[in-house]
């Protein structure tokens, strides 16, 4: 059995006494925070999960989470873009109409705006072109300029673009032809009692230009 040797000589005891007093003197003034040093984040190997504390406010600062979020956003953007291109391939689209169709398919506003901005920059989406093509497809109908303008605006086309398209598509001859079809349709509905004055007022309110109205009555 091992027995510790206890010094008996006075010099050794004096040293031990000095050491004890030194320890009692130094410990109380040791800063408290040094006893609780911050430890690096550890990993719970038994469960395979990190014990890292989340960022302040509860938001995760994991690089993997940020990467997954970025990949998810990119995937949604590509899907929205492909959907938009398929719609454009089927028929000309306007900005408002395309945005509404993408929204109905579940894409968020940021994704939709990004896609529309890119397609507009590449001239794959053009409201002026849409308005002209839409009007040209309705040249044979008896809808008046005012009603055609209202229909374009209802589809989200800017009024200035719609008015410019009307002027481009309906030259004076095309407008006169439309006016004659409109008047003929009105007469077929038993409104022959319309006076020239009231008819002029009606044609003007329907958006026909004054020079075309004048040509119509001069040719009657």
pTM of this prediction? Answer: 0.61
* pLDDT interval class at 72 (50, 70, 90): confident
CA dist., res. 126 & res. 93, Å (int): 8
Q: Tell me, what DSSP letter sits at residue 54? A: P
Strands 43-44 and 49-50: antiparallel
Let me know whether 152 and 83 are in one domain: no
Q: Tell me, what DSSP letter sits at residue 33? A: G
Cα distances (Å, whole numbers) of residue 183 to 26, 142, 146, 177, 187: 110, 9, 15, 10, 6
Tell me, what's the pLDDT at 49? 41
Distance of CA 85 to the CA centre of its chain: 16
Tell me, what's the pLDDT at 215? 92
Q: Residue 16: inside a domain, yes or no? A: no
Q: How many domains does the chain have?
A: 2
Of 93, 125, 157, the one marking the end of a domain is: 125
Let me know whether 138 and 211 are in one domain: yes
Let me know whether 205 and 134 are in one domain: yes
Domain ranges, residue 89: 67-125
Asked if pLDDT for residue 119 goes beyond 80, the answer is yes
Q: Residue 37: inside a domain, yes or no? A: no
Q: Residue 20: inside a domain, yes or no? A: no
Q: Residue 167: inside a domain, yes or no? A: yes
Let me know whether 166 and 205 are in one domain: yes
Of 125, 141, 158, the one marking the end of a domain is: 125
Let me know whether 206 and 185 are in one domain: yes
Tell me, what's the pLDDT at 127? 96
Let me know whether 157 and 212 are in one domain: yes
Residues 6+ apart with CB under 8 A from 84: 93, 98, 102, 115, 116, 119
For the stretch 140-150, pLDDT in tens is 887 899 999 99
Q: Residue 19: inside a domain, yes or no? A: no
Higher pLDDT pick, 115 / 75: 115
Q: Residue 138: inside a domain, yes or no? A: yes
Let me know whether 103 and 178 are in one domain: no
Cα distances (Å, whole numbers) of residue 50 to 66, 68, 70, 132: 16, 18, 22, 61
Higher pLDDT pick, 77 / 28: 77
Let me know whether 135 and 214 are in one domain: yes
Q: Tell me, what DSSP letter sits at residue 112? A: H
Tell me, what's the pLDDT at 23? 39
CA dist., res. 182 & res. 36, Å (int): 91
Tell me, what's the pLDDT at 218? 87
Asked if pLDDT for residue 99 goes beyond 60, the answer is yes
Let me know whether 108 and 170 are in one domain: no
For position 79, which CATH number holds?
Answer: 1.10.10
CB 95 within 8 A of CB 120: yes
Helices (H), 137-188: 145-154, 159-169, 172-188
For the stretch 193-203, pLDDT in tens is 567 788 899 99
Tell me, what's the pLDDT at 65? 59
* pLDDT interval class at 34 (50, 70, 90): very low
Q: Tell me, what DSSP letter sits at residue 8? A: -
Q: Residue 183: inside a domain, yes or no? A: yes
Tell me, what's the pLDDT at 187? 77
Angle at 87 between CA 83 and CA 88, to 5 degrees: 115
Q: Residue 22: inside a domain, yes or no? A: no
Low-confidence winner among 9-18, 62-71, 115-124 (lowest mean pLDDT): 9-18
Tokens of 14: 């004096």
């Amino acid at each position: 059995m091992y027995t510790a040797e206890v010094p008996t000589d006075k010099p050794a005891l004096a040293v031990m006494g000095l050491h004890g007093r030194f320890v009692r003197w130094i410990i109380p003034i040791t800063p408290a925070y040094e006893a609780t040093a911050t430890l690096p984040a550890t990993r719970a190997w038994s469960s395979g999960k990190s014990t890292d504390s989340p960022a302040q406010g509860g938001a995760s600062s994991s690089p993997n989470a940020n990467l997954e979020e970025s990949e998810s956003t990119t995937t949604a953007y590509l899907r929205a873009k492909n959907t938009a291109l398929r719609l454009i391939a089927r028929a000309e689209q306007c900005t408002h109409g395309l945005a509404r169709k993408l929204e109905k398919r579940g894409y968020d506003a940021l994704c939709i705006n990004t896609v529309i901005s890119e397609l507009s920059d590449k001239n794959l989406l053009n409201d002026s072109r849409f308005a002209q093509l839409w009007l040209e497809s309705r040249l044979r109908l008896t809808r008046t300029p005012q009603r055609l303008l209202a229909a374009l605006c209802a589809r989200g086309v800017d009024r200035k673009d719609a008015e410019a398209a009307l002027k481009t598509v309906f030259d004076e001859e095309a407008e006169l032809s439309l006016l004659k079809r409109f008047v003929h349709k009105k007469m077929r509905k038993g409104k022959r009692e319309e006076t020239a004055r009231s008819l002029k007022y009606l044609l003007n309110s329907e958006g026909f230009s004054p020079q075309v109205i004048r040509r119509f009555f001069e040719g009657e």
